[in-house]
Structure 1
Amino acid sequence: MAAGCGLRQGEVFGLAVEDVDFLGGVVHVVRQVKLLQRHRPVFAPPKGGKERDVPLPESVAFALAGHLKRHPATEVTLPWKTLDGPPVTASLIFTGSMGMALDRNRFNDRVWRPALRAAGVETGRDNGMHALRHFYASVLLDAGESIKALSEYLGHHDPGFKLRTYTHLMPSSETRTRAAVDRVFQGDDPADDGPETAQEGF
């Protein structure tokens, strides 16, 4: 969900079955699991208080459905925003072994970093789970998605921030030009099949 939909770690932990529209191909990002003092979890709005809808790719939907088949969603009740806030219940897709909301510190120590080490990847700050959002951004930009759309999917208010952060990942003008011409000359455009064009070699 982080690499395929660009969700933040807390948003992944707060994702519920009722937030996923499998038929419509949309994920509604409406909450996160947030730790307050003494590492006590609460449900809270996404960062910046802005809910958003994110496209759900088919490959991610199948992976998510497979996970739910193996690990059915668990109803979890947490206070909303503050430790004494009103209780809110959600059928969380990802929970700990005891059916509780995931704690980011325990998850990072016991799951994420061991997975990095097993894969031969350094466990420094640059390779935190947030790196999966950077991967998501790079994939979309490489495919030609706009900075404005990417900012909306990532839940950022300022497209300019995204532009400054990810501009180095955007295909260059020269790359786009080569790709556009190659698409035509490699037979993707039926207009290039005429005998006159073939004879003249244009």
Structure 2
Amino acid sequence: MPLPLVVAAALSRHIREFAPGADGTLFTTRFGAPYRHDCYGTRIFSAAVRRAGLPPSTTSHDLRHRYASILLAQGESVIGVSERLGHHNASPVLSTYGHLVPDSEDRTRRAVDSAWAACAPPAPRDDATAR
């Protein structure tokens, strides 16, 4: 997965403040052990949701949906989004997020116009400008 600069910067700050565990785990308890799933979901994630000002009902699945929606809105391909989400094909992305794919009519129109302009013969000259 590509590491966005904003995430790399946040991880760098975290690592400077909290050394990774002996096995390289980045997020550990004060004893250096990885967080248990139940602790992560009930305490850590809920606190992060509160600090971020998100609705209390926000889930990690909601954040996954938001991530996919942002990528599509920014023009990432359906195949690219599918790969980022770990799907083996694009069908789940199309069926879930297809309505978010930007309208492609203008892109299609520009692509055909551009291709046609590149191979079209020069426009005939007006007799007045030819003199």
The answer, yes or no, to whether TM exceeds 0.5 is yes
Q: Does 1:112 align with 2:59?
A: no
Q: CA deviation at 1:153?
A: 1.6
Higher normalized contact order (CA 8 Å, seq sep 6+, divided by chain length):
1
Deviation string, structure 1 residues 79-134 (Cα, Å, up to 9, x no partner): xxxxxxxxxxx3111112221111121111112224435636132xxx21122221
- Counterpart of 2:5 (choices 41, 58, 70) is 58
**Unpaired stretches in structure 1, ≥5 consecutive residues:** 1-53, 76-89, 181-202
Alignment partner, residue 49 of structure 1: none
TM-score, normalising length: structure 2? 0.70
Which protein has the larger Cα radius of gyration, Structure 1 or Structure 2? Answer: 2
**Counterparts in 2 of 1:65 and 1:103: CA distance versus 1, 3 Å:** same
1:121 aligned partner, one-letter code: P
Give deviations 1:155-176, integer Å, cap 9, x for gaps: 11121111111112222236x6
TM-score normalised by length of structure 1: 0.47
Aligned counterpart in structure 1 of residue 30 of structure 2, from 78, 83, 97? 97
Counterparts of 1:22-171 in structure 2, within 5 Å, are 54-75=1-22, 90-117=23-50, 119=53, 121-123=55-57, 127-171=58-102
For 1:158 and 1:105, the matched residues in 2 are separated by 31
CA offsets per residue over residues 138-157 of structure 1, 9 Å max, x none? 11111111111111121111
- Cα deviation per residue 1:9-33 (whole Å; 9 max; x = unaligned)? xxxxxxxxxxxxxxxxxxxxxxxxx
Unaligned runs of 5+ in 2: 111-131
For residues 130 and 91 of structure 1, the distance between their equivalents in structure 2, rounded to whole angstroms, comes to: 26
Amino acid at match of 1:168: H
In 2, Cα distance between equivalents of 1:68 and 1:116: 21
CA separation in 2, counterparts of 1:100 and 1:65?
Answer: 20
Partner Cα distance (2:76, 2:54) in 1: 31
Q: Structure 1 residues 112, 56: closer, same or farther in 2, change over 3 A? A: same
Counterparts in 2 of 1:55 and 1:173: CA distance versus 1, 3 Å: same
Secondary structure of 1:94 counterpart: coil
The number of equivalent residue pairs is 107
Q: How far, CA to CA, are the matches of 2:47 and 2:15 in structure 1?
A: 23
What is the percentage of aligned positions where both structures have the same residue? 37
